[in-house]
Chains A and B, each alone.
Chain A
Amino acid sequence: MMRISALLLGLLFGFGLLLSGMANPAKVQGFLDWFGDWDATLAFVMGGAVALTLPLFQWAAKRSRPLLAGRWYAPAAQGIDRRLIWGSALFGIGWGLAGICPGPALVLLGLGRLDALVFLVAMVAGMGGWQYWQHRVN
């Protein structure tokens, strides 16, 4: 049941990225281009998405558990630390460089864009590299 739901929600999410222009790297870079020809479209994407998550997540917060699961799987991390700030900064640099973030990278690969595969392989290498380094440090 959850698997089929996850498949359908992945489809819905992917169509949202495609329809909104979020899966179009030029459009993403246009949104980040505040000092040039700014394209505000992506502000509407995030606005539209948060217009739903904000009230629905607040409603969910009143419930002791999700409708179809035993507990909430909320992120455990707390507080504003250097990891959060530097990690987000690095992510933003990579996002600006190519106009691609993880969801759109998957959508682009699904479209048959093999250049997205280069991005995805490097992304997974970066994720693995960070975790390997963390593992060695700790």
Chain B
Amino acid sequence: MMQLDWWLGLAGGLLIGTAASLLWLLYGRILGVSGVVAGLWQQTGGELAWRVWFVAGVLLSGLIYRLSFGLPEISLPYPWWWLALAGFLVGVGTRMGSGCTSGHGVCGLGRLSVRSVWAVLVFIGSGVLTVALLRHVLGVM
């Protein structure tokens, strides 16, 4: 079962990498979801339009998946304020640090950006520490 997951991870990663590579090679834009979302109220004209259509595509992928295969088993056992706190930190952090897993992780590492290497190391590190603290020290997650 674990090995099947690895293959799914690899296959999904290749799709993600294909999308990011094509957006860069064809149009010279970085596929960074936090930047794309923030651009929805910062940008105008052509820079706004592609972002709107990209976000629509991502939303649509969830809808099409659900209509084709049903709702996948996803557990989010948190109260609303927990999700709100997590979302707020992700929002502040991605703007302050200029990127998230897609922008720094997939595109930044591909561009061999030293900034992105640091960003990835730091956000994986702080994510690991957060899970360790909440799950194994405090036992609340």
Q: Shortest beta-carbon distance, A10 to chain B, in Å?
A: 2
Given A15-B61, A16-B19, A10 contacting B55 (CB threshold 8 A):
yes
Residue from the list B19, B28, B63, B105 in contact with A71, Cβ < 8 A: B28
B-side interface residues toward A, CB under 8 Å?
2, 5-6, 8-31, 33-34, 37-38, 41-42, 46, 49-51, 53-66, 71-72, 74-76, 78, 80, 82-107, 109-115, 118-120, 122-132, 134-136, 141
Given A98-B78, A98-B86, A72 contacting B118 (CB threshold 8 A):
no
- Please list 17 pairs of residues, one from A and one from B, whose beta carbons are closer than 8 Å in the complex, sorted by A's number: A2-B46, A6-B50, A17-B61, A18-B65, A22-B12, A26-B75, A41-B5, A47-B10, A48-B17, A56-B25, A84-B97, A97-B86, A102-B37, A103-B102, A112-B66, A122-B85, A127-B95
CB under 8 Å from chain B, chain A span 25-46 = 25-26, 29, 32-36, 39-46
In the complex, what distance in Å separates the CA atom of A123 from the CA atom of B88? 5
The A interface, classified by DSSP as helix, strand, loop or mixed, is helix
In the complex, what distance in Å separates the CA atom of A51 from the CA atom of B51? 25
B132-A111 in contact (CB<8A): no
A16-B126 in contact (CB<8A): no
In the complex, what distance in Å separates the CA atom of A107 from the CA atom of B8? 17
In the complex, what distance in Å separates the CA atom of A65 from the CA atom of B29? 11
In the complex, what distance in Å separates the CA atom of A5 from the CA atom of B56? 12
Residue from the list A18, A47, A98 in contact with B83, Cβ < 8 A: A98
Residue from the list B5, B18, B65, B90 in contact with A12, Cβ < 8 A: B18
The number of residues on chain A lying at the interface, defined by a beta carbon within 8 Å of a beta carbon of chain B, is 112
- Listed residue (B9, B24, B71, B99) with the most chain A CB atoms within 10 angstroms of its CB: B9
Residue A137 is within 8 A (CB to CB) of chain B in the complex: no
What 18 new A-B contacts, CB under 8 Å, besides A17-B58, A34-B131, A106-B55? Answer: A2-B50, A5-B26, A6-B53, A7-B60, A16-B12, A18-B12, A18-B62, A19-B12, A50-B105, A53-B24, A69-B29, A75-B103, A87-B98, A90-B92, A94-B87, A94-B88, A95-B90, A97-B134
- Listed residue (A17, A34, A83, A88) with the most chain B CB atoms within 10 angstroms of its CB: A88
A-side interface residues toward B, CB under 8 Å?
2-26, 29, 32-36, 39-54, 56-61, 65-69, 71-75, 77-80, 83-103, 105-113, 115, 118-131
Residues of B within 8 A of A125 (CB): 87-88, 91
A95-B50 in contact (CB<8A): no
- Listed residue (B28, B51, B90, B128) with the most chain A CB atoms within 10 angstroms of its CB: B90
